[in-house]
């Protein structure tokens, strides 16, 4: 999990090898906000594939003629795609290689729809980070994900709790 290679440097390659990873519990700052980029433009193919793979046959996602008669006048992106993409966009910056387990998602809301062609931009705020009472070397992190479309409209929010590693000590990686 260490981000610098422990291998000796050769005279021909003096630069360290850097491995991308998320942040350890002790590197997180409560109140910090992480803007995850690039955004992800939602496509019709994303919506159809995700809805089909998850056996969600909701006509609002799959049936253009039906959706045209509904209040939004067009198909909507599957909200579970929006949630999964919002959480997924945070991985490389926050939890890649530092997550032990996802513990839960709460306070999930979709205050506005996401449509085909909209771009989802996600931000994560660290709400709390504390040592685990039962798992040495690990901590419980609570974060709030907020997804906005390209106009800045909030389309999704979720509070996520995760079990994460503290940075390894001198004894080496866990």
The predicted-structure confidence for 128-162, as pLDDT tens digits, reads as follows 999 999 999 999 999 999 999 999 999 999 999 99
Dihedral (CA of 149, 31, 164, 109) sign: negative
Half-sphere exposure in the Cβ direction for 89 (13 Å, CA) = 24
What average pLDDT does the segment 84-113 reach? Answer: 97
**What is the share, in percent, of the chain residues with pLDDT greater than 90?**
84
> Cα separations (Å) of 16 from 129, 151, 171?
30, 41, 20
Strands 138-148 and 119-131: antiparallel
Closest CA to 79 of 50, 55, 117: 50
Global confidence as pTM: 0.86
């Amino acid at each position: 999990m260490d981000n610098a290679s422990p291998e000796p440097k050769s005279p021909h390659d003096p630069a360290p090898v850097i491995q991308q990873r998320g942040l350890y519990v002790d590197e997180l700052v409560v109140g910090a906000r992480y803007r995850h980029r690039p955004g992800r433009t939602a496509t019709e193919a994303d919506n159809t594939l995700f809805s089909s793979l998850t056996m969600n046959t909701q006509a609002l996602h799959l049936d253009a003629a039906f959706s045209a008669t509904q209040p939004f006048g067009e198909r909507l992106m599957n909200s579970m795609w929006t949630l999964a993409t919002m959480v997924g966009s945070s991985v490389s910056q926050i939890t890649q290689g530092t997550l032990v387990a996802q513990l839960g998602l709460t306070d999930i809301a979709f205050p506005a729809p996401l449509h085909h062609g909209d771009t989802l931009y996600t931000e994560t705020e660290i709400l709390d980070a504390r040592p685990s009472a039962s798992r040495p070397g690990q901590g419980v992190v609570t974060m709030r994900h907020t997804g906005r479309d390209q106009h800045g409209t909030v389309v999704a929010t979720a509070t996520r709790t995760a079990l994460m590693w503290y940075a390894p000590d001198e004894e080496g990686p866990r």
